[in-house]
Amino acid sequence: MRSRTAGLIAALLLVLVFGSATLAQTARPAGAGKANAAASVAGHDLSGVWQLVGLLRSMSKAPPSLTPEGNKKFLANLPGFGPRAVPGGNDPIGQCDPLGLPRTLLSERPIQFVEIPGRMLQFLEWDRTWRDVWTDGRELPKDQDARWYGYSVGKWQGDTFVVDSAGFDERTWVDSLGYPRSDAMRLQERYRRSDHDTLELTMTIEDPVMYTKPWVSDRLIYKWQAQDGLEEGFCVASEEESFTRRLRNPAAGK
C-alpha cells in the first residue's frame, strides 16, 4: 500500500513538472494572436468588416480626362456635394437608387468579406445588399444584362485579390461628384491586406464612352473593425422625400 502511494505521488510530480514545462514552451506572449494573424495575411484572408479611412467624394484627387460625351453627361449631372453642388440636384441617391460601383466603396459605410467555395461575398452596409465575386475560374460574360453592381469575377495574384467587373447599369454615378459611367464601363479592384488591420484598394475604370483613358484611383485605405456584422443602412424612399421637402427644396429656393 505504501509503495503504491509513493508511486502515485511520484507520477503526480512528473505530471506537474513536465506539464509546467510544456505550458511554458507553448504559452504565447500577449499580442501573439494578432502577430499570427498578420503572418497569415499571405494566406489570402480578407474576411471581416472593413471601413474606409475618411469620407471620399471621388476616386482620386485629380479629375479624370473626359470624352466630349462624358463631359456633356458630367455637366448635366447636378450633385449635392463638391464644387458643382446644387441643392435639390438630380443625384440618383435622392431617389434611393442603388449607389452601384465604385461609389458604394467610397462611402463611409463599412463593407464585409465572407469567402465560401467558388465565391467571395462582399456585403455592403449601404442599402443592406451584397455582391457575388465568382472565384471558380469562370470568365466575365461577353453579353451581360446591365446590373446596378455589375457582374464580377475574382482571383488571387500573389497577395492581391483582383476583381474584374462589367455589365453595369449606366444610371448610377461613379462618385458623389457626378462623374458618369456608361454600360461599357469595366472596373478592376485590387485588394491587398498589408497587415492585420489594414486593407488597401486601388481601382481602375475603363470606359471609352466617358473617358479618354483609364481612370486609376488613389490608394484607398480600409481599417479592420472588431465587429461581427453590419448595421442596417437602407435608403427609405418616404424618408428621402420628407428630407427633400424639409431641406433640399428650401435650400434650392423651391
Instruction: Tell me, yes or no, whether 130 and 197 share the same domain.
Output: yes
Higher model confidence: residue 43 or residue 23? 43
Instruction: Tell me, yes or no, whether 88 and 26 share the same domain.
Output: no
Q: Render pLDDT for 123-180 as a digit per residue (tens, 0 to 9).
A: 999 878 899 999 999 999 988 889 999 999 999 999 999 999 999 999 999 999 999 9
The pair phi, psi for residue 92, each rounded to 5°, is: -55, -20
- Is 89 a residue whose pLDDT tops 50? yes
Q: For residue 62, what pLDDT is reported? A: 94
Determine what percent of the chain is predicted with pLDDT higher than 90. 62
Instruction: Tell me, yes or no, whether 8 and 103 share the same domain.
Output: no
- Is 27 a residue whose pLDDT tops 50? no
Instruction: Tell me, yes or no, whether 129 and 162 share the same domain.
Output: yes
Higher model confidence: residue 66 or residue 248? 66
Instruction: Tell me, yes or no, whether 54 and 17 share the same domain.
Output: no
- Give the pLDDT band (50/70/90) at residue 57: very high
CATH, residue 84:
2.40.128.20
- Across residues 200-217, what is the average pLDDT? 98
Of 46-50, 52-56, 240-244, which range is least confident? 240-244
- Side-chain-side CA neighbours of 196 within 13 Å: the count stands at 11
- Give the pLDDT band (50/70/90) at residue 13: very low
Instruction: Tell me, yes or no, whether 60 and 183 share the same domain.
Output: yes
DSSP letters for the chain = -HHHHHHHHHHHHHHHHHHHHHHHHHPPPTTHHHHHHHHGGGGT---EEEEESS--SSS-SSPP-B-HHHHHHHHH---SSSTT--TT---GGGGT----TTGGGGSSS-EEEEEETTEEEEEETGGGEEEEEE-SSPPPPSS---BSS-EEEEEEETTEEEEEEE-B-TTS-SSTT-----TT-EEEEEEEEEETTEEEEEEEEE-TTTBSS-EEPPPEEEEEES-SS-------HHHHHHHIIIIIHHHTT-
Average predicted confidence (pLDDT) for the chain? 83
- Across residues 90-114, what is the average pLDDT? 93
- Give the pLDDT band (50/70/90) at residue 252: low
Per the structure, the complete domain to which residue 14 belongs is given by: 2-39
Instruction: Tell me, yes or no, whether 242 and 158 share the same domain.
Output: yes
Instruction: Tell me, yes or no, whether 69 and 178 share the same domain.
Output: yes
Q: And the C-alpha cell for 119?
A: 465565391
Terminal alpha carbon distance of the chain: 101
Instruction: Tell me, yes or no, whether 16 and 133 share the same domain.
Output: no
- Across residues 183-209, what is the average pLDDT? 97
Instruction: Tell me, yes or no, whether 83 and 30 share the same domain.
Output: no
- Across residues 23-30, what is the average pLDDT? 35
Residue 216 and residue 60 in contact, taking contact as beta carbons nearer than 8 Å: yes
Instruction: Tell me, yes or no, whether 142 and 83 share the same domain.
Output: yes
Number of domains in the chain: 2
Instruction: Tell me, yes or no, whether 172 and 217 share the same domain.
Output: yes
